[in-house]
Every structure is written in structure tokens, then in C-alpha cells.
Amino acid sequence: MVLTKIEEIPNSYTAFTSSALATFALADLFFLIGDVMQRVTLMKYAVCFILFFFGMQMLMIDFICIPAIASCAVTVLIMLVTAAISWYYTPEQPSVQIEEGQSQQADTTGNVCVNA
């Protein structure tokens, strides 16, 4: 990736700093995506559809030319629609019955823990 940037971008400072920034941000984005996947239950389908869209765009480059702004708009639209559907569609949590002498706690994810 860096060699391609060095060949394509005439300013070597820009090529190096963009790669360095991407490297530093990669770990944080990994955990951010994991958190988003937990909160938005249908986001995995959005990621699947976006990857399919970009794959078809690369395969059909000789026949159809989609502008970059349209690709970004499709990506944002897919993510927003999926987030809205996930917000309205929430699967029901299984109910937990508590016997006498047990206490009930909720952890940070909203799951209920029963302690004796």
C-alpha cells in the first residue's frame, strides 16, 4: 500500500503521514466497529451489502462508472437505513425468573445476571 502511494502521490510527506495515520487509527476503529456491531444489531448485513456493492462496482468498471460521491452516498444511506431498522426492530430479551433469596443485577450490556 505504501509503495503504491509513493508511486502515485508526488508528495512523499503526504504519502507517509496518511499511512502512519491509518496505522494508528486502525486499532481504535476495530474496537469502534465492534461496539457499533453490538449496538446496531443489523449492521453486519449493511457491511455485507456495502462490500457487495463495492465488489460489483469494481467488476463492472468497464461498463458502469459510478462517481465517488455517489458511492459515498450509497454507503451512508445503507448504514443509516440499517441503523433505523435496527432501532425499530429490537429482538425481545429472554425473561429471567428469580427465585427467593436471589438478587438481580444488570451489567453494562443490559444483560441480567442472577446471583444466589
Q: What is the mean pLDDT of each run of 10 residues along the chain (116 residues)?
A: 70 83 88 86 91 94 92 95 88 60 54 53
pTM for this one?
0.59
Residues ≥6 apart with Cβ < 8 Å to 85: 42
Query: Where in the chain are the domains?
Result: 1-39, 41-89
Cβ atoms of 91 and 105 closer than 8 Å? no
CB-count burial class (<10 Å; 0-12, 13-18, 19+) for 82: buried
